[in-house]
Structure 1
């Protein structure tokens, strides 16, 4: 269900659209290429209110991260590896934030999205970095909108399960398609005096 308009301007956040998740390998997201055109269209519509994030491995592998990278040993790329390159055009006014964690929510992103404002999430993987970023933003008092056809998970089943879980957080978090989101924006603009 599409909720009421959010206070303040929305910010599009594109999570981890990087070679490490597009290319064949341990972290490949199968439907990665399918969501690119949807994200590109949204990026154009947001006219400079876009943040791209990058997952970049912390080579010190603190605590449990060491065990994590033992499991995913092929992904131990150095911080300057091209595997961490964003595969989309980030030129113009987009902001790029790096983090070595699943959640991209933190002081840097919080500074760009005021409390009570809306964060619109897209990217990969729905069942990991998108989910953890959404939970962090909700906990910090932001409204979260997930664009379902602009996100991809490690499998279709994981996608459906994660979106269903996120829908339980309504009205703090809502899940919509890009068409539903565009329709909501049109209604907001047409209702203004």
Structure 2
């Protein structure tokens, strides 16, 4: 990580955004299972402890209306058509007092709500699952909005190791808007 990014992460103006650490992605029987979920979760916990002053957890929850192309998407992934109050959408890691939770039915969690939740942060640190879907979509939206982003690569997990690596490489091409780091570079 560059010294400029290191300053941004340690300045106290950073917010940790944890993408979709939920049961549906943890469960090995889920069609959306992330193989590296448990390893990813260990790093996420360390980051959440480090950023205890400013953490946003996101949750993906299916919109039962399945408007537009979402209907065809859920035809492909029909076992994931759980109701919005189903425990499959529950976060698997502890949310502390003062942490915020953002629930959306979109891949990208970037939008007016997350922008408002991070408005006092010059910089966001992103981790979670899946690197090749919701993490990627959120990072792209954030940099389009002008946010400086650090992607914590070992605190992310993809649908496959190859998909994870490809998504990380793609986001790495967005430097200097996106900086790639590992947990030990942030939590010293």
**TM bin (shorter chain):** over 0.9
Unaligned runs of 5+ in 1: 184-193
Distance (whole Å) between structure 1 residues aligned to residue 140 and residue 128 of structure 2:
15
Aligned to 2:171: 166
- Secondary structure of the corresponding residue to residue 148 of structure 1: strand
**1:119 corresponds to 2:119:** no
Unaligned runs of 5+ in 2: none
Distance (whole Å) between structure 1 residues aligned to residue 99 and residue 110 of structure 2:
17
Contact 1:15–1:122 under 8 Å retained in 2: yes
Using structure 1 for the length normalisation, give the TM-score.
Answer: 0.91
Contact 1:3–1:171 under 8 Å retained in 2: no
Aligned to 1:156: 161
Query: Larger deviation: 97-106 or 5-14?
Result: 5-14
Distance (whole Å) between structure 1 residues aligned to residue 96 and residue 173 of structure 2:
36
Which of these residues, 104, 108, 111, is aligned with residue 106 of structure 1? 111
Using structure 2 for the length normalisation, give the TM-score.
Answer: 0.93
Over 2 Å off, 4+ runs:
5-8
Contact 1:124–1:130 under 8 Å retained in 2: yes
CA separation of 1:181 and 1:75: change in aligned 2, threshold 3 A: same
Equivalent residues in 2 for 1:14-163, closer than 5 Å: 14-23=18-27, 24-114=29-119, 117-163=122-168
CA separation of 1:168 and 1:116: change in aligned 2, threshold 3 A: farther
Distance (whole Å) between structure 1 residues aligned to residue 96 and residue 55 of structure 2:
11
Contact 1:116–1:143 under 8 Å retained in 2: no
Cα displacement (A) at 1:179: 1.1
Aligned to 1:2: 2
Cα displacement (A) at 1:154: 0.8
Cα displacement (A) at 1:102: 0.2
Q: Bigger radius of gyration, 1 or 2?
A: 1
- Secondary structure of the corresponding residue to residue 162 of structure 1: helix
C-alpha RMSD of the superposition: 1.4
Q: Report how many aligned residue pairs link the two structures.
A: 183
Distance (whole Å) between structure 2 residues aligned to residue 79 and residue 71 of structure 1:
18
Distance (whole Å) between structure 1 residues aligned to residue 148 and residue 122 of structure 2:
6
Distance (whole Å) between structure 1 residues aligned to residue 53 and residue 87 of structure 2:
25
Distance (whole Å) between structure 2 residues aligned to residue 114 and residue 91 of structure 1:
20
